[in-house]
Amino acid sequence: MAQDKEMACKDCGQKFIFTAGEQEFFQSRGFSEPIRCKSCRDIRKSEKSERGFSGGGGGGGDRW
């Protein structure tokens, strides 16, 4: 069983919890561990979508 993990965000230095459930999700998808807290990920995500990438939907699954 995985356990919750405390991580430090690479961008803002804040501690955040990488929960056991998230760890399993990441592993099942073959993602590497997150290095940023949720708010920094959200910021980066919105920056990305502002760059006007308008490709057809469907793929990716890039939620993180």
2 touching Zn ion, by CB under 5 A: no
Contacting range for Zn ion; rule: CB under 5 A; set: 25-33, 35-43, 52-60: 35-43
Among 2, 4, 8, 12, binds Zn ion (CB under 5 A): 12
User: Which residues lie below 8 Å from residue 10, measured CB to CB, with a gap of 6+?
Assistant: 35, 36, 40
Q: Where are the beta strands (DSSP E) in the chain?
A: 5-8, 15-18
Give the whole-angstrom CA distance, residue 17 versus residue 59. 28
Total number of residues that touch Zn ion (CB under 5 A)? 6
> Which residues sit at the interface with Zn ion, rule CB under 5 A?
9, 11-12, 14, 37, 40
